[in-house]
Structure 1
Amino acid sequence: MGLEKQVSYKSTNTYQTLNSYKHTTKNVWLVFHGLGFLSRYFLRHFEILNPTENYIICPQAPSKFYLGEDFKHVGACWLTKEDTVLETSNVLRYIDEVFAQENIDPNTNLIVLGYSQGVSIATRWLASRKISCKKLILHSGGIPKELTPKDFTHLDSTTQTTYLYGDKDPYITQA
């Protein structure tokens, strides 16, 4: 059996934004897509929001793969069960850089949304970085087992939290 080793290197990734961040912006959305999405396609779901008041930032999951057997469409994945701790660290550092690059005014309403696999990234980032937000929207995804309510005590009591899931969703445990 071979010996697994580790190397550190610098990596570059993309992310998408929608609308312009300017003085009329009231809400900044940080949105995390689900398994099999690309950020540019996930962003389309936010086009209905008022563009003068809403600025949307959509990070791109780093691991891309072909969807289906025809190798025509590409999707992406945030994490797998393989090297989860290491990969989580890498992904969270990437999110930190995206957030720093955008240089968001702390007085702007931050809305964090995770969809499907993006729920695990959104909650891990908020919990580990002690980020406060005005709204937290978790849609059709599970909160990682390692997180507890104590990990979110930094959130203001006025933070609106919404957890959406289907009652027949095979991937969701009892909320």
Structure 2
Amino acid sequence: MQKEVVYQSTNTFDTLNELTDQTKTVWLVFHGIGYLSRYFIRLFQSLDPVNNYIIAPQAPSKYYKNNDYKRVGSSWLTKENTQTETKNVLNYIDAIMESEKFPSSINFVVLGYSQGVSIASRWIASRKIQPNAFVMISGGFPKELKKEDFTFLTKTTKITHILGENDPYFEIDKVEAEKIRVKGIVPQIEFRSHPGGHELDIESLKNIV
């Protein structure tokens, strides 16, 4: 018999730059599988440090990436106990947002890369978050999410999906079918590409906000 228990847990997250009166944009960025947030956040170092403040949550499940037991990676979710794990992760994101208070007048961008897309989109849908922009990079949109889950978004919410032209994880036919499905859910979505592979290309984020 499998049972369940509720307990308090502690997790870290990373930030880049300082949140000041000059900050114009706050980025909440979700890494992909295999990353640690402290390494993922470095990808945003080229953004203007005065205008941009970046928050990178850390996926709670850690593992050794190879047999020498030196490099550590992490994962947001697996197929095991997904619903409960999703609730735990979303509660963790809520706690980050509660601790990182920032003015509502600041541009707010939610970004998910690879597996991070699933967390970012579920958090926005379940919490009815109104970001100025939602960016999905090299990741799939959760199958359970429907158009009615995003009807609260305004037409001015900028939604962008970015995919590398040489991404080995995506087949062209499947990509085109997925574009049709996702556009039916969030009609204002813009699809972009970059010449690389399964990676976050910082140049492709220009003019997001």
* Shorter-chain TM-score above 0.5: yes
Does structure 2 retain, via aligned residues, the 8 Å contact 1:61–1:76? yes
Does structure 2 retain, via aligned residues, the 8 Å contact 1:13–1:60? yes
**1:112-163 CA distance string (max 9 Å, x none):** 1000000000000000000001111100111110001221111121111110
**Residue of structure 2 in register with 1:145 after alignment:** 143
What is the Cα deviation at residue 165 of structure 1?
Answer: 2.1
Amino acid aligned to 1:165: L
* TM-score, reference length from structure 2: 0.80
Does structure 2 retain, via aligned residues, the 8 Å contact 1:141–1:171? no
- Structure 1 unaligned residues grouped into runs of 5+: none
Q: Number of residues paired by the alignment?
A: 173
- Structure 2 unaligned residues grouped into runs of 5+: 179-209
Q: Name the structure where helix makes up a greater proportion of residues.
A: 2
Give the structure, 1 or 2, with the largest relative contact order (CA under 8 Å, sep 6 or more).
1
**1:36-63 CA distance string (max 9 Å, x none):** 0000000000000001100000000000
In 2, the alpha carbon distance for the partners of 1:115 and 1:35 equals 9
1:164 to 155, 162, 165: 162
Does structure 2 retain, via aligned residues, the 8 Å contact 1:138–1:163? yes
Q: Is 1:104 aligned to 2:96, yes or no?
A: no
**Residue of structure 2 in register with 1:55 after alignment:** 53
**Residue of structure 2 in register with 1:122 after alignment:** 120
Does structure 2 retain, via aligned residues, the 8 Å contact 1:15–1:60? yes
Amino acid aligned to 1:28: V
* TM-score, reference length from structure 1: 0.95
Give the SS at the match of 1:136: strand
Give the SS at the match of 1:143: coil
Cα RMSD of the aligned pairs, angstroms, is 1.2
